[in-house]
Amino acid sequence: MSILSTWVTSLSRENSLSCQKMFQGGAFLAALLCFSLTIELGESFVPFNVSYDNRALIINGKRRMLISAGIHYPRATPEMWPNLIAKSKEGGADVIQTYVFWNGHEPVRGQYNFEGSYDIFKFVKLVGSSGLYLHLRIGPYVCAEWNFGGFPVWLRDIPGVEFRTNNAPFKVEMQRFVKKIVDLMREEMLFSWQGGPIIMLQIENEYGNVESSFGQRGKDYVKWAARMAIELDAGVPWVMCQQADAPDIIDCSTKGVIGRGCESEGLYILEIEVSVPVACFGVVTSFKLHCRLGHPSFSLLKINACNGFYCDGFWPNSAKKPKLWTEDWNGWFASWGGRTPKRPVEDIAFAVARFFQRGGSFHNYYMYFGGTNFGRSSGGPFYATSYDYDAPIDEYGLLSQPKWGHLKELHAAIKLCEPALVAVDSPHYIKLGPMQEAHVYSVKKSLYSTVSGNGSSCSAFLANIDERKTVSVKFLGQLYTLPPWSVSILPDCQTTVFNTAKNAEWNVRAQTSVKTVEFDLPLFQNISVTQPLMLQNKISSIPKAWMTLKEPIGVWSENNFTIQGLLEHLHVTKDNSDYLWHITRINVSAEDISFWEEKQISPALSIDSMRDILRIFVNGQLIGSVIGHWVKVVQPIQFLHGYNDLVLLSQTVGLQNYGAFMERDGAGFKGQVKLTGFKNGEIDLSEYSWTYQVGLKGEFQKIYTIDESEKAEWIDLALDASPSTFTWYKTFFDAPNGANPVALDLGSMGKGQAWVNGHHIGRYWTLVAPKDGCGVCDYRGAYYSSKCVTNCGKPTQTWYHIPRSWLKASNNLLVLFEETGGNPFEISVESRYTKTICAEVSETHYKSLQNWSRSDSKDKFFSQNTATPEMHLQCDGGHAISSIEFASYGTPRGRCHKFSQGKCHAPNSMALVSKVCLGKQRCVIQISNSEFGADPCQGIVKTLAVKAKCASSSTTGSSQI
């Protein structure tokens, strides 16, 4: 074998350390005692090594084809993590991938936070306990549409700092944090060689996109970052995504690599001679494994990886490295005032299949679960609070069908090919047509093959990259029909088990789900199939009782200061608030008034450049607003004779998270700030004295918390009250019954922030998307973020996620800060669940992939039964199928919501589907004439179409406020 295939069972952290302390300086007896202890204290994973070669990651001595699911732990609550991990595993994931969010973990320099949604150790352990691996992307720059790209704002205040370049102050801070994370993961026994799930790390992130901006200093920084990471001796491979010049080989004499990796210190258990596929070690190296399971350092080459919508054409910068796809952008993020991006699952499946077809070995969905930008964590500027990302698991933790189901089938097909894929370094290429090709992986049993017996291993991918034409091709003597822009997967080089395009237009295997935000419904067990259950369609409104409180304009506390000149926004706020008040006084003479009247002009405020939002107040009245990213401001102003109070409120809506020189971007104003139109010429406001006040009074008094809310001077809000700007609102509501995710409808409000029981839901904004741009979405052809969009002419986001764990059964405090005016009486709180599920499967569709397995005696796949195609229907957890709205086996017409019977129809369709599915959370229906008793129309291909409703498995009620 090329590396150790078996390691001793892991020690718990405490027992491992105490064992070492007991036998410090030890002897062989001590080693044996330690070895015995490891055997007795088994954990979820037996310790295993991770390496790689030119083809794939090598886990415990075996090459692996790996599917990874991107989940960012702070974009969900700890209570959601187990369900998200379980659904990822059920969907076919082998790995969970996440960034590490520096600004969440170290909000103040030297003060660390690993609690609540930032308890990364709990998250990693949950991944491991589920039997999945983890790819930890430390960065510490993450991008991720996350505030300031994950950098803590205090970092920009370090004297002399320049981000992400060969800059000593930055490198000191970066190394300190990265080392902190690696050391803590090691202490918690979370690396693979310790029995943990972490198989791979990442340093930096997409630096290749900005490296040229820094010249030679950027190149030097890349080399430094790679060496720094290696010297941390984590014992697993490191990647650098979007980094074409990721260093190939780190000097093997580097102190800290050999010293801690190959020449292990302390107590030795045994010495094993193994062959290592890493250049700097040569062919044979001796490793000494000691009591704490010291590991060999295999990660001496940095693997550069691909990010993008398609990565089949990517190749790493060294023949020694495998082809990894760290970010498959299977959706896209939403921005305030923008349309909602969607990516067709047929195109995603095509991209993934092409990647593995052309030599890929590790693929990660960015994102498999997107989640929510709670609080002020969204980046930007102007990124929405929802980070749903059109992912297979939606923002609320519900399955997005047919995306999740179709990709699950894809993953199963790829896994059937894995024995052949790992056995071959490169496939055999066959040209099948002008835009059609095959890649064949065929070889006798090899070192890395998982094929049993003496058989060979053969798998093939047939691709049609024509965007319009369906083509029949001849492959190994057989004809295969390939839809446009699709890949067919043949795990035995003969049998097509999956085609990437056969989802919507090409027969549905995965169900389509329609989510709703309505009352939960009880499950009705005895339903007459001739009397369909009518589901109520009520909308619950939040209460009749609201209270209100005005936010003062300008100075509201003694914690303010006055200084000559205009200061940069973040220099003052340190990003502790979105809001910064700038207050000064303007003296207007009688001559100025006469001049304006005579010339019929008005003075104006002029600012060379401003981001993100500016509110302008004169004498306490809001007279104008400007929205944009470093845009020029020209705002006419009406002044009175004498002294006028001029208040400028600059606001951030997420700090820049991408690009070079991020520390220079800042916020607030740039360039000249002046008043024009005065009789004696322009007034340079930078020469004036300004008073600065950070944040909102209600924000800093925390009136959104239960305790502090009671101390505020709230008054009752009248039902006929006019919309009010810069106003706080509060009410109490009962949580919807059951365990469904909960959504808050803020479509009646303007812009502001929301809290529930002191938890910051995030920013809200009913900014409307352009009316044009939404049309029919064709999966065929290369995808880009604006290709398939929805929600034209509507607010980008109106529903906001309230995690169940933040709610009590009753008397929940909801607090809003509203900037522009809205009607809180139209707000509603509802539970969210999948109400309608539909599916359509033909008798000629591929058999269920769960029924296929490889013959032990020859390279041939067979079905475990006389398998027919199957229809799989599934409601959310805690729900069951409450009614069958439509069922027809024959030639049904239409799509979900508009199904109708065709000329051919099996009369027992409804009865059979109801018998199999009613009252169940999930069910499987065989698609065959025998299942339905007879052939309803001979000589015609039959299809089963079903529409069903899901309801809560227990009686639930509405939200009452």
Which amino acids are annotated catalytic?
A: 206, 327
Q: Give the Cα separation of 503 and 777 in Å (integer).
A: 14
Contact 140, 102 (CB under 8 A): yes
Tokens of 869: 């195609």
Longest C-alpha distance within the chain, in Å?
A: 102
Q: Is 571 helix (H, G, I), strand (E, B) or coil?
A: helix
Q: Give the Cα separation of 827 and 845 in Å (integer).
A: 46
Q: Could you give phi then psi for residue 391, rounded to 5 degrees?
A: -85, 165
Q: Is 365 helix (H, G, I), strand (E, B) or coil?
A: strand
Contact 551, 696 (CB under 8 A): yes
Q: Parallel, antiparallel, or unpaired for β 689-694 and 579-588?
A: antiparallel
DSSP secondary structure letters along 464-508: E--SS--EEEEETTEEEEE-SSEEEEETTSS---EETTTTTTT--
Of the chain, the end-to-end C-alpha distance in Å amounts to 66
Contact 603, 676 (CB under 8 A): yes
Q: Is 441 helix (H, G, I), strand (E, B) or coil?
A: strand
The secondary structure of residue 734, as a DSSP letter, is: P
What region, left, alpha or beta, does residue 821 occupy, with left being phi > 0 and alpha being psi -120 to 50 degrees? left
Tokens of 511: 């169900």
Tokens of 215: 């010249």
Contact 603, 677 (CB under 8 A): yes
Q: Give the Cα separation of 292 and 19 in Å (integer).
A: 8
Tokens of 631: 């845009």
The secondary structure of residue 112, as a DSSP letter, is: -
Q: Give the Cα separation of 836 and 372 in Å (integer).
A: 24
Task: State the residue for tokens 């064992």.
Answer: 19
Q: Give the Cα separation of 678 and 685 in Å (integer).
A: 13
Helix (H) or strand (E) holding 183: helix 168-187
A 10 A CB-CB count for 576 gives 15
Q: Is 842 helix (H, G, I), strand (E, B) or coil?
A: strand
The full 3-state SS of 856-898, as one line of letters, equals CCCCCEEECCCCCCEEEEECCCCEEEEEEEEEEEECCECCCCC
CA torsion, points 345, 351, 352, 354, in degrees to nearest 10?
A: 140
Contact 419, 457 (CB under 8 A): yes
Cα angle: 453, vertex 456, 459; to 5 degrees = 125
Write down how long the chain is: 961
Residues 6+ apart with CB under 8 A from 256: 231, 233
Helix (H) or strand (E) holding 177: helix 168-187
Helix (H) or strand (E) holding 288: strand 284-290
DSSP secondary structure letters along 226-245: HHHHHTT--SS-EEEET-TT
Tokens of 269: 């258990």
